[in-house]
């Protein structure tokens, strides 16, 4: 946090959470926060330029075991992004899996100041936190995987939702995590035996279904004043014809009353879950089906997981999915199953506009953003690096803002784009206010971070600000893309960290974690079962499991009491 | 007397974390539970380097920490091609400080993997690696293969805690419900326990992996009567065991990484695992030696983009093992100074590499004297990580654990602090020259 005062003068401000839609305004900053007025500030002249709150990424894989397994496996990706150290910056490398330093610098250059690490294996949580500490500038948080854990499966089976809630509280606390992440519920446990699960299959040996897991965890989450809902990567990701499984999964939380003004489920990288057809041969977009559902219902929000063409590194706790992908490509494949909890797989992938399947996938992400009417239900993501690296966000922004650019790009794609997707027939263009919603307003609100100062520019908010070198009237897609790739200024907690597209300061970011507060008697009862798991089945001890405070040198705690 | 539980062992890649100690008057008096005999001996303590030392006229002379650190900084600051090697028997925090120092002075940073499981990393870069945590094996594995590894002596708790002898959810009967296959060039303590011992001719493991792959993929007709000294009948027997297993694991050691076809052996071992996976669930895991050799590879990769042998002389990270690996740099007589930390190249490097290392100024940071001390020019004793200082480490299956501080030391300085103090001195020298 920077001491002193700063004034950003005459920018055209987009601050959707506070209803500011492109107004010429001054922004006053003191000691890292937005304030009403300043007396003797340094001045940044933003005359005629677009000003937004710092970007808030709701879902990306930037730190931890599988990200680094990707780096270890792919020196060829590392070499793509090498940049020398500077007086401010450490060495940089990587394109789809940049090193930790480059991750911080490149996000900051795009005007982002918060990123959610989307999947933290609890047993390896220390690793995730170690990497988060080494990502400069960005505030961050990480969501532990809780849906294939034996404790969860057993409590779902026995129907002890209170004890399940106690376990959820314990594991979020033990991992210094942010919320409940679900990835292929039941399917990853099945993968430990080389199998997989559909939504209503029975998980081998555990006698529960993925549908029961999702519902049970959503109920357990809402027993606390949790900032964020369950964050769901459902079953059958990437399978042709999975669109009905996707909306059936959304249906599971229909009756659940969320703690606050957010949906009871965030469904992530929806592009991968919006597939029609019965095989890769008749593969087609079902974005309309998903969009209609989201338009008609308020209990689910989504992020798009849009494709960036080119080479990337796919990685997910959905082990069986990565194995299928590797069987298709025959490229390298890494798998890391984690005892009693989860798994992960990693394999490189090339998205090509010449491929009919990739073309349909490419269209779906954009269709979702354009067909869902209310931008407060949609977030921009690429499920970095699965559908493409985060560095491609400006490409997607320019596509959503320009029908002309989409039409030009469609000409270069496989011709299936015209008969297996709706994209060419959609005329809608996003305006800058809507872009600000899907990149900061909606994401900060859905994550429950707005009241903690993220994603808006109201008095008291963190002085995290992006100033883009473009006028609000700009319509040239190429210029829009360029402006969103490198800011004129990025300000983090009141400090200028990027100027004219160069990183000029790299302060450490904070790690935000949630502490759900469970009734002690429930916790004690749950701990008897949990300690038995450690004694008999874990390969580490109960006392060595929780993440020590040393791993969070810049912590920010959000308490989540039990709901009355 | 105080009993301390959940002590995390800082010896080998097993990183056992259930050790119980008795401490009295700031000394470990008894290892009550958990440690193997080698771990026990480390925990109970033995001869230390007593003081920092600087070599003068061929003799190591005792000096203060400040003097030794200053001297080390001068050597590194003057060097045009420094090598910063070791990093495997210390904590992540020290590794991180070392990578930052190497980056600042344009050095080459490398760890012991370069003469150990480096070939495994190269194989992973070729084909990836299907693996899992050790607890998965404890709970599920019904067939265990040790290939070119002798855990009964080198990782003495491995079988008991994690594999053949351990008990878990689907393996409640311990070794009764499991099968053990050992592949090695000679009989070992481990092979004596095996259901099947496959004795392969020295340096010919590659052929045995190939033969097993062929059988698992339905091409047993191409396998000759004998492969690398192993009768076809025995290969068919092992392949059948693989096919029948529900959950199998291959642990491989330096018997395969550092013999014959080197990294190609491991590529083939991984391809064998993929072939086995067509019949059941299969994983494969390197038997990492030092307790944090895995951790250095992790940190080096998230910080520089590459896991070891990283040359930072260009200002960015350049990775090309064979060119940028320590032994190759030394063969070419390229380095003009070396910082050796938490390792012993004096005992483990090939002669040609050592000859050059002995010629150049060498800084050693280590709690214990070893053959490297014999030619080191500056010797800086360190606190023992996991006994006198805490810090992060990664077990052989990439699971991060935190070493605990058990005893106080009012004298010895932790590795991390030594490296940071050297770095501070280097910066001071640079500023002085700029004036």
Local confidence pLDDT in tens for the 435 residues of chain B: 999 999 999 999 999 999 999 999 999 999 999 999 999 999 998 899 999 999 999 999 999 999 999 999 999 999 999 999 999 999 999 999 999 999 999 999 999 999 999 999 999 999 999 999 999 999 999 999 999 999 999 999 999 999 999 999 999 999 999 999 999 999 999 999 999 999 999 999 999 999 999 999 999 999 999 999 999 999 999 999 999 999 999 999 999 998 888 899 999 999 999 999 999 999 999 999 999 999 999 999 999 999 999 999 999 999 999 999 999 999 999 999 999 999 999 999 999 999 999 999 999 999 999 999 999 999 999 999 999 999 999 999 999 999 999 999 999 999 999 999 999 999 999 999 998
Cross-chain CB nearest to A130 (options B8, B281, B392): B392
Q: What is the pLDDT of residue A2?
A: 67
Give residues with Cβ within 8 angstroms of B183, minimum separation 6.
B145, B146, B147, B148, B197, B198, B200, B205, B208
Q: How distant is the alpha carbon of residue A270 from its chain centre?
A: 12
Provide the whole-model pTM: 0.98
**What is the distance between the alpha carbons of residues A559 and B221, in angstroms, rounded to a whole number?**
65
Domains belonging to chain B, first-starting first, are 2-42 (no CATH), 47-115+291-434 (3.40.50.740), 118-286 (3.40.228.10)
Q: Which helix (H) or strand (E) holds A50?
A: strand A50-53
Q: Note whether B324 contacts A: Cβ–Cβ < 8 A.
A: no
Buried b (16+ CB within 10 A) or exposed e, B197-210: bbebeebbbbbbbb
Percentage of chain A with pLDDT > 90?
Answer: 99
Are the beta carbons of B403 and B388 closer than 8 angstroms?
no
Compute the nearest-CA separation of A129 from chain B (Å): 11
Q: Identify whether the C-beta of residue B159 lies closer than 8 Å to the C-beta of residue A106.
A: no
State the alpha helices, DSSP H only, in A192-271.
210-221, 243-251
Closest CA to B49 of B349, B354, B344: B344
CB < 8 Å from B in window 25-64 of A: 63
Radius of gyration of chain A, Cα coordinates, nearest whole angstrom: 22
What six digits make up the tokens of B151? 């855990």
Q: How far is CA A190 from the centre of its chain?
A: 25
* Chain B, window 249-278: residues with a beta carbon less than 8 angstroms from a chain A beta carbon: 274, 277
Would the ipTM clear 0.95, i.e. be above it?
Answer: yes
A75 contacts chain B (CB < 8 A): yes
Contact B96, B302 (CB under 8 A): no
| Residues of chain B found within 8 Å of residue A61, distances taken between Cβ atoms | none
Position of tokens 């959304």?
A: A250
CB count within 10 Å of CB B185 equals: 17
Q: How far apart are CA B135 and CA B15, in angstroms?
A: 13
Which of B245, B305, B309 is the best residue to mutate to test the A interface, defined by the most A CB atoms within 10 Å of its own CB?
B305
Which positions 350-409 of B are in contact with A (Cβ < 8 Å)?
390, 392, 394, 398-402
Query: Å from A109 to nearest chain B CA?
Result: 19
The C-alpha of A219 sits at a distance from chain B's nearest C-alpha, in angstroms, of 28
Three-state SS at A412? helix
B262 phi-psi bin (left φ>0, alpha ψ -120 to 50, beta other) = left
**In degrees rounded to 5, what are phi and psi of residue A111?**
90, 10
Given phi > 0 = left and psi -120 to 50 = alpha, else beta, which region is A140?
beta
Q: List, for chain A, all residue ranges whose pLDDT scores fall below the cut of 50.
A: none
- Per-residue pLDDT of A316-356, as tens digits, reads 999 999 999 999 999 999 999 999 999 999 999 999 999 99
- Output the pLDDT for position B46: 85
Question: How does strand A275-276 pair with strand A310-316?
Answer: unpaired
Q: Considering only CB atoms, which chain B residues are within 8 Å of A126? A: 392, 400-402
> How many Cβ atoms from other residues are within 10 Å of residue A282's Cβ?
11
Q: How far apart are CA A297 and CA A283, in angstroms?
A: 26
The single residue listed with the structure tokens 């005459």 is A10
Residues B253/B145, Cβ–Cβ less than 8 Å = no
Task: Report the pLDDT value the prediction gives residue A1, as an integer from 0 to 100.
Answer: 59
Cα distances (Å, whole numbers) of residue A336 to A99, A459, B15, B282: 20, 45, 19, 11
Contact A513, A164 (CB under 8 A): no
Residues forming beta bridges with residue A467, ordered by sequence position: A51, A489
CA dihedral of A126, B40, B255, B124, whole degrees rounded to 10: 0
Interface of A with B in 145-184 (CB under 8 A): none
CA dihedral A27, A33, A37, A39 (to 10 degrees): -110
Which residues neighbour B412 within 8 Å (Cβ) at sequence distance 6 or greater?
B48, B367, B381, B382, B383, B384, B388
Whether residue A385 has a cis bond before it, omega within 30° of 0: yes
Q: Is B133 on the interface with A (CB under 8 A)?
A: yes
Cα B201 to Cα A146: distance, rounded to the nearest angstrom: 47
Measured at the CA of B370, the angle between CA B364 and CA B374, to 5 degrees, comes to 70
Among B111, B65, B97, which Cα is nearest to B382's? Answer: B65
Structure tokens at A4: 């002193």
- Tell whether A87 lies on the interface with B, counting CB pairs under 8 A: no
Partners of A29 in beta bridges:
A6, A34
Cα–Cα dist B338/B345, whole Å: 11
Mutate to test the interface with B, among A339, A340, A347 (most CBs of B within 10 A): A339
User: Mutate which of B101, B118, B123, B128 to test chain A, going by most A C-beta atoms within 10 A?
Assistant: B128
DSSP-H helix ranges across A149-240: 150-158, 161-174, 187-191, 210-221
**Token pair 């020398």: residue:** A84
Matching residue, tokens 């790009």: A409
Residue ranges in A490-547 assigned as alpha helix (H): 520-536
Mutate one of B9, B302, B414 to test the A interface: name it (highest A CB count within 10 A): B302
- Nearest Cβ partner of A332 from B127, B140, B162? B127
Q: Say whether A123 and B133 touch across the interface (CB within 8 A).
A: yes
CA–CA dist A519, A108 (Å, integer) = 40
**Residues of A with Cβ-Cβ distance to B127 under 8 angstroms:** 332-333
User: Measured in whole angstroms, how far is the alpha carbon of residue B53 from the centre of its chain?
Assistant: 27
The per-residue pLDDT for B260 is: 83
């Amino acid at each position: 946090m920077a001491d002193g005062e700063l004034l950003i003068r005459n920018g055209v401000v987009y601050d959707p959470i506070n209803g500011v839609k492109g107004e010429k305004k001054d922004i006053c900053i003191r000691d890292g926060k937005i304030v009403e007025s300043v007396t003797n500030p340094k001045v940044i002249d933003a005359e005629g330029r677009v000003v937004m709150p710092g970007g808030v990424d709701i879902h990306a894989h930037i730190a931890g075991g599988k990200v680094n397994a990707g780096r270890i496996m792919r020196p060829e990706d590392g070499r793509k992004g090498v940049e020398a150290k500077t007086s401010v910056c450490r060495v940089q490398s990587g394109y789809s899996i940049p090193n930790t330093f480059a991750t911080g610098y490149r996000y900051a250059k795009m005007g982002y100041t918060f990123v959610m690490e989307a999947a933290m294996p609890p047993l390896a949580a220390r690793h995730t936190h170690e990497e988060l500490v080494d990502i400069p500038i960005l505030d961050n948080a990480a969501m532990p995987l809780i849906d294939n854990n034996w404790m969860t499966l057993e409590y779902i089976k026995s129907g002890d939702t209170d004890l399940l809630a106690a376990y959820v509280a314990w594991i979020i606390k033990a991992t210094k995590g942010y919320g409940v992440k679900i990835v292929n519920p039941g399917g990853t446990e099945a993968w430990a035996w080389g199998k997989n699960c559909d939504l209503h299959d029975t998980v081998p040996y555990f006698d529960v279904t993925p549908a029961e897991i999702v519902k049970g965890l959503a109920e357990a989450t809402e027993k606390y004043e949790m900032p964020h809902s369950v964050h769901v990567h459902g079953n059958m990701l990437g399978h042709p014809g999975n669109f009905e499984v996707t909306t059936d999964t959304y249906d599971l939380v229909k009756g659940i009353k969320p703690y606050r003004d957010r949906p009871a489920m965030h469904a992530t990288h929806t592009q991968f879950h919006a597939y029609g057809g019965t095989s890769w041969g008749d593969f087609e977009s079902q974005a309309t089906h998903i969009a209609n559902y989201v338009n008609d219902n308020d209990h689910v929000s989504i992020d798009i997981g849009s494709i960036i063409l080119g080479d990337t590194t796919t990685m997910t706790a959905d082990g069986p999915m990565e194995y299928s992908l590797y069987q298709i490509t025959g490229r390298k494949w890494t798998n890391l199953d984690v005892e009693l909890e989860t798994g992960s797989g990693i394999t490189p992938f090339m998205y090509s506009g010449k491929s009919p399947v990739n073309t349909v996938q490419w269209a779906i992400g954009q269709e979702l953003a354009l067909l869902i009417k209310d931008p407060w239900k949609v977030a921009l993501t690429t499920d970095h690096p699965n559908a493409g690296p985060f560095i491609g966000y400006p490409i997607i922004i320019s596509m959503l803002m320009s029908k002309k650019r989409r039409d030009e790009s469609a000409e270069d794609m496989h011709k299936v784009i015209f008969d297996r997707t709706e994209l060419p027939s959609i005329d809608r263009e996003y305006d800058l206010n809507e872009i600000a919603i899907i990149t900061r307003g909606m994401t900060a609100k859905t994550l429950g971070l707005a009241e903690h100062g993220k994603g808006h520019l109201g008095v008291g908010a963190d002085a995290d600000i992006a100033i883009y070198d473009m006028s609000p009237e700009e319509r040239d897609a190429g210029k829009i893309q360029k402006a969103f790739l490198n800011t004129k200024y990025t300000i983090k907690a009141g400090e200028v960290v990027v100027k004219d597209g160069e990183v000029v300061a790299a302060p450490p970011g904070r790690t935000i974690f949630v502490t759900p507060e469970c009734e002690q008697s429930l916790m004690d009862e749950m701990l008897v079962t949990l300690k038995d798991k450690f004694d008999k089945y874990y390969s580490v001890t109960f006392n060595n499991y929780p993440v020590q405070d040393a791993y969070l040198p810049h912590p920010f705690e959000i308490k989540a009491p039990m709901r009355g | 007397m105080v009993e301390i539980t959940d002590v995390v062992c800082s010896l080998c890649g097993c990183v056992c974390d259930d050790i119980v100690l008795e401490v009295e008057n700031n000394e470990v008096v008894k290892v009550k539970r958990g440690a193997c005999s080698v771990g026990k001996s480390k925990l109970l303590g033995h001869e230390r380097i007593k003081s920092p030392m600087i070599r003068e006229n061929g003799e190591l002379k005792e000096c203060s920490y400040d003097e030794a650190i200053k001297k080390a900084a001068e050597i590194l600051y003057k060097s045009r091609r420094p090598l910063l090697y070791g990093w495997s028997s210390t904590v992540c925090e020290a590794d991180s400080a070392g990578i930052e120092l190497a980056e600042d002075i344009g050095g080459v940073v490398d760890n012991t993997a370069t003469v150990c499981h480096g070939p495994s990393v190269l194989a992973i870069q070729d084909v990836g690696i299907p693996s899992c945590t050790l607890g998965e094996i404890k709970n599920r594995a019904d067939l265990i293969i040790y290939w070119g590894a002798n855990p009964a002596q080198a990782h003495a708790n491995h079988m008991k805690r994690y594999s053949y002898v351990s008990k878990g959810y689907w393996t409640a009967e311990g070794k009764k419900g499991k099968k053990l296959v050992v592949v090695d060039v000679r009989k070992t303590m481990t092979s004596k326990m095996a259901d099947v011992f496959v004795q392969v001719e020295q340096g010919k493991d590659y052929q045995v992996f190939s033969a097993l792959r062929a059988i698992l993929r339905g091409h047993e007709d191409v396998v000759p009567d004998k492969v690398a000294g192993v009768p076809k009948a025995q290969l068919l027997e092992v392949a059948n065991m693989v096919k029948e297993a529900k959950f199998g694991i291959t642990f491989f050691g330096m018997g395969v990484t550092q013999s014959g076809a080197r990294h190609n052996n491991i590529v083939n071992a991984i391809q064998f695992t993929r072939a086995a996976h067509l019949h059941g669930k299969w994983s494969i895991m390197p038997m990492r030696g030092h307790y944090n050799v895995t951790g250095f590879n992790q940190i080096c990769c998230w910080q520089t983009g590459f896991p070891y042998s990283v040359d930072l002389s260009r200002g960015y990270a350049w990775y090309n093992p064979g060119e940028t690996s320590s032994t190759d740099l030394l063969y070419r007589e390229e380095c003009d100074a070396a910082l050796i930390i938490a390792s012993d190249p004096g005992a483990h490097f090939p002669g040609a590499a050592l000859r050059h290392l002995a010629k150049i100024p060498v800084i050693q940071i280590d709690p214990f004297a070893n053959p490297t001390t014999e030619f080191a020019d500056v010797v800086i004793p360190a606190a023992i990580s996991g006994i006198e200082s805490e810090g992060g480490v990664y077990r052989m299956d990439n699971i991060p654990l935190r070493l605990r501080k058990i005893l106080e030391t009012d004298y010895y300085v932790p590795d991390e602090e030594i490296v940071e103090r050297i770095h501070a001195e280097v910066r001071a020298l640079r500023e002085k020259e700029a004036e």
